[in-house]
Structure 1
Amino acid sequence: MKQLVRMFTAVFLVAFVLIYVTFQLNSTEGYSSGNTLSIYNWGDYIDPDLLKQFEQESGIKVIYQTFDSNEAMMTKIAQGGTTFDVAVPSEYAISKMKEENLLLPIDHSKLSNLKYINPRFLNLSFDKENQYSVPYFWGTVGIVYNPKLLGGKEITSWNDLWDGDLRNQILLVDGAREVIGMGLNSLHYSLNDTDEAHLQEAKNKLNALTPNVKAIVGDEIKMLLAGEEAAVGVVWSGDASEIMSENDELDYVIPEEGSNLWFDNMVIPKTAKNIEGAHEFINFMLDPEHAAQNAEYVGYSTPNEKALEYLPEEIAGDKRFYPDPSVTDKLEVYDNLGKRMLAHYNELFLEFKMYKN
């Protein structure tokens, strides 16, 4: 028994020493439990230099964690075991988090830089008056293609992908909303359609596409397209920009039938411990020069109108990634379809993948 007590005492002492050392190290750097900020974001979705700059200017230590899907992010926040002060969900996830009371309202009076956001990216359907979220990045879903590998052929629409000459030449992102939405849009239906007849029609049309589909893949789609392992890919615009920076033979197009206009916004989860720091960080990221630096690093489109003045013209003036309102007004934001319908989309996508195999 004495041996057991001694063992527990030793473990306690080691734990105490580790906690004390950590506290002392943080204190020497000017950090304490009251001035840390926990950020939850997508992988490789911020310039690390900006995090360092924020720490230096604010005296707040950043604890940075990443997620790979909105669903994983929402589950972790809902569980509440780990607290986050700032998170970066997508539009339909923001709608769902509002419904589930997972967000705190944002105090606009603490965001002096909010005025730099282009008004067309504010007051959208998923968060009217931006009560709970502030724009971070935006973009589209479209088609990257290699004219050289296609013998000079140009792609302008979803329906071009069903061309028999593209056999085994197409890579698709591994996303249910993107692929089912592509099928719906190709039939001139909404990518938020819940009509069962339309959904089945879209799936049947997608089944007819399978001879042209080389693979359904994740992040490796960027490497495969840049390396000319396939001639065509359905991707998000930011990925397209990265792919094209590796291979200037490629081009990107927003299909004429329509597509997804997506947004990733900054929010303050309900479990936040440093609400003041969260507002300070959000305002820091809304600074035009910081927003421009972040956009150049990440490759996605900034909603910060003033930031465009700090970006190279070849970026800010590229209509493929900064299309005019005449184009974006025809695109659709993903609606929160609810658990049942979202599960149905996933089922249809799984059936398509099984049919492909």
Structure 2
Amino acid sequence: MYSRRSVLGSVLAATGAVAAGFSFEGARAAPGKLRFFNWDTYIGAHTLEGFKAATGVEVEMSLFASNDELFAQIAGKGQAYDVIVPSCDVVTRMVERDLLTKLDHARLPNLANMAAPFLDPPYDPKCAYSVPYTWVVQGLGYRRSKMKDYKAPNSWKWVFDSDRYKIAWLSEPSDMIRLGAKYLGFGSEDITPEVVRKVEKLLSKQAKHVSAFHTDNGQDLLKSGEVDIVIEYNGDIAQVMREDPDLDFVVPREGGLRSVDCWAIPKAAPNPDAAYQFLNYMMDAQAGADISETILYPTPNTAARARTHDAYRNNQVIFPPVAVVSGSDFTLWPGAEMQQRFDEAFARIRLAAGR
């Protein structure tokens, strides 16, 4: 089964393949292990072995299933980790709680490989506490043969205000409220308590037509034929499209949501020297290219993208047109009070669905 962050094959031809051309901070020793808290298999098959070959540091990777789980672990007093992979809104939330290390960019020369817009993002100005890993756009994955006249479902109407198709929604309250607001004509910055109420009314009415709420397997529901349309990330649908040519992806005309998954170093990191080495290694051009072509998520690393094959870098599902991306709002942290409104509204929506 694939997940949002799925490894589809071997990334490196040999254990130390990414070491060539690697800008490495060799002045500092980082003995022992690096403890890495990651989404399920959101990395190349041999990348961690390659890092060990280049640095001598062994990686011990643990997995989490949601940003809420990640936040709870880092904010609590459980296992300490050296590197974590929060989504961009969670970076802001963690910075507010003083949970992340302010980064020394002098120790991250490969940060220069990132595209300019990712070096000063709205969720973390000047990349003070995080560096970008991948970015995503949310839209609709769909089965062509199930669509009327084989036309793309190019509006959120087909999942928010219609009973024509079998549909699956995300289980993430913030994303669902924001997407409902987009359909109603509101941008993320325009969402007020009144807008949340309007979205709740819309989605509660539609909820009885929802076949499934998914956390990390929407593409599997689509591929298996359980649903005709699913709200999903472009990278997930790109993965299954290469196995099933009847599948496709579209960002509806109202616009979607975009997000960035990041690397960050918790303040309580046991081995910060190794953490810096790891971040810099992962931003290497060849390492980034190999991982990106494996997981099929869009990379912010321009040096890495230049080393990828045409089938990856020219894929408009992975890299939607600029106009499509610019019309999709960032998933920024709305603040604790508004987040609670999102959570409570979506809980009532799910009750309306009987799930």
With structure 2 as the length reference, what TM-score do the two structures score?
0.87
Contact 1:244 1:250 in 2 (8 A): yes
Letter of the 2:343 partner, please give it: N
Post-superposition Cα deviations, 1:207-263, rounded to whole Å, max 9, x if no partner, equal: 232354222123342222112221110012222122323321111011221221100
With over 3 angstroms needed to count, the CA separation of the structure-2 counterparts of 1:220 and 1:275, relative to structure 1, is closer
The answer to whether the 8 A contact 1:192-1:334 is kept is: no
Question: AA paired with 2:102?
Answer: P
Shift of 1:192: 4.9
Letter in 1 for 2:244: N
Find the partner of 1:346 among 333, 338, 343.
343
Return the index of the structure with the highest Cα Rg.
Answer: 1
Counterpart residue number, 2:134: 137
> Residue type matched to 1:287 in 2?
D
- Number of the residue aligned with 2:232: 235
Change (3 A) 1:77 1:165: closer
The partner residue of 2:252 within 255, 270, 273 is: 255
Secondary structure in 2 matching 1:66: strand
The residue aligned with 1:27 is: none
Aligned to 2:152: 154
Match of 1:330 in 2: 327
- Alignment RMSD (CA, Å): 1.8
Distance 1:72 1:242 in 2: 25
C-alpha spacing 1:352/1:163, structure 2 compared with 1 (3 Å): closer
Counterpart residue number, 2:119: 122
| 158, 172, 178: which one aligns with 1:175 | 172
Counterparts of 1:147 and 1:33, CA distance in 2:
51
Aligned residues of 2:218 and 2:231 also touching (Cα < 8 A): no
Alpha-carbon separation, structure 2, partners of 1:106 and 1:218: 31
* Secondary structure of 1:81's aligned partner: coil
- Name the counterpart of 1:266: 263
The corresponding residue for 1:281 is 278
Contact 1:194 1:341 in 2 (8 A): no
Equivalent AA in structure 1 for residue 144 of structure 2: P
Aligned residues: 325
Q: Which has the higher helix share?
A: 1
- Once residues 290 and 33 of structure 1 are traced to their aligned partners in structure 2, the CA distance between those partners, rounded to angstroms, is 20
- C-alpha deviation, 1:348, in angstroms: 0.9
Kept in 2, the 8 Å contact 1:37–1:62? The answer is: yes
Whole-angstrom CA distance in 1 between matches of 2:121 and 2:349 = 32
Query: Among residues 98, 102, 105, which one is paired with 1:105 in the alignment?
Result: 102
Distance 1:321 1:217 in 2: 21
Using structure 1 for the length normalisation, give the TM-score: 0.86
Cα distance in 2 between the residues matched to 1:238 and 1:193: 28
In structure 1, stretches of 5+ residues that fail to align are: 1-31
Deviation, structure 1 residue 101: 0.7
C-alpha distance 34-289 of structure 1, shift in aligned 2 (>3 A) = closer
**Cα shift readout 1:251-276 (whole Å, capped 9, x = no counterpart):** 10112212211001111100012222
Give the equivalent residue in structure 1 for 2:313.
Answer: 316
Give the C-alpha shift of residue 76 in structure 1. Answer: 1.2
Which whole-Å CA distance do the structure 2 matches of 1:175 and 1:233 have between them?
14
Unaligned runs of 5+ in 2: 1-28
Cα distance 1:353–1:90, how it changes in 2: closer, same or farther (>3 A)? same
Deviation at 1:165, TM superposition (A): 5.7
